[in-house]
Chain A
Amino acid sequence: QLQLQESGPGLVKPSETLSLTCTVSGGSISSPIHYWAWIRQPPGKGLEWIGSIFYSGSTFYSPSLKSRVTISVDTSKSHVSLKLTSVTAADTAIYYCARGGYGGSSGPPSHWGQGTLVTVSS
């Protein structure tokens, strides 16, 4: 059974870089029909799409975050990584890793990690 587990620092200082890792187990990280996405949710608020990475290595980022986001895959470690630079308090959120492509390569995420809370504060 596919499992995703996010990990990383729970506290990041303003202006620094947020770095998270999603460990994938129980399934192939190299599936050509799926993609990997990062989604976040500020405490008590709604979901926000951050971006995704496909089997080809192509990445697609939300226009509002594009200048600060990098998503990458390390197939040797079954890791999907997220880096967000120059963080502010507005980046405080639960960050979710998810696998997309349910029902087809354009399908939505169906498998999600449990999420990890990242707080931006000095």
Chain B
Amino acid sequence: QSALTQSASVSGSPGQSVTISCTGTDNDIGSYSLVSWYQQYPGRAPKLIIYEVYKRPSGVSDRFSGSKSVNTASLTISGVQTEDEADYYCCSYAGNSLRVFGGGTKLTVL
């Protein structure tokens, strides 16, 4: 059960769209449509922003969207704002009631 692979950092200017990728295997992302994404600010607990690949919890901005293709999941932030600057983690169900996280991607808004 290895961690999912995310790029360490991504950046964008306000108003641009930014996409964060998360690569797994046939044993996690490739087998289940149970990918979630979390946003984490420094010193704070993670916040769920996407579940079941593309669904948004109540109260989460529709600027956040998710997708999946084979073993790779993606989080797209449309119209990036300064308040979006945070760490983002993907998470996938991996069978046997286990989950695996990605290493995290730091979003910098230039």
Report A49 CB to chain B, min CB distance, Å: 5
Question: Is B79 interfacial (CB-CB < 8 Å)?
Answer: no
Q: Are B89 and A108 in contact (CB under 8 A)?
A: no
Q: Contacting B99 at CB < 8 Å: which of A49, A64, A96?
A: A49
Question: Is A26 interfacial (CB-CB < 8 Å)?
Answer: no
Question: Is B64 interfacial (CB-CB < 8 Å)?
Answer: no
- Contact code string B74-110 (vs A, CB < 8 Å = 1, else 0): 0000000000000001010100111111111000000
List of B residues within 8 angstroms of A62 by Cβ: 1, 98
Report B47 CB to chain A, min CB distance, Å: 8
Q: Are B52 and A107 in contact (CB under 8 A)?
A: yes
Which A30-70 residues have C-beta < 8 A from chain B?
A: 35, 37, 39, 45-49, 51-52, 54, 58, 60, 62-64
Question: Is B15 interfacial (CB-CB < 8 Å)?
Answer: no
Q: Are B93 and A106 in contact (CB under 8 A)?
A: yes
Residue of B nearest to A105 (CB): B97
Size bracket, chain B contacts:
20 to 34
The 15 listed contacts between A and B (C-beta, < 8 Å) are A45-B103, A46-B102, A47-B89, A47-B104, A48-B101, A58-B97, A60-B96, A60-B97, A64-B1, A103-B51, A103-B55, A108-B36, A108-B48, A108-B91, A113-B45
List of B residues within 8 angstroms of A54 by Cβ: 97
Residue of B nearest to A110 (CB): B48
Question: Is B18 interfacial (CB-CB < 8 Å)?
Answer: no
List of A residues within 8 angstroms of B98 by Cβ: 49, 51, 60, 62-63
Q: Are B46 and A112 in contact (CB under 8 A)?
A: yes
Which B29-43 residues have C-beta < 8 A from chain A?
A: 34, 36, 38
Report B27 CB to chain A, min CB distance, Å: 12
List of A residues within 8 angstroms of B99 by Cβ: 37, 49, 108
Tell me the bound Cα distance from A102 to B49 in angstroms.
11
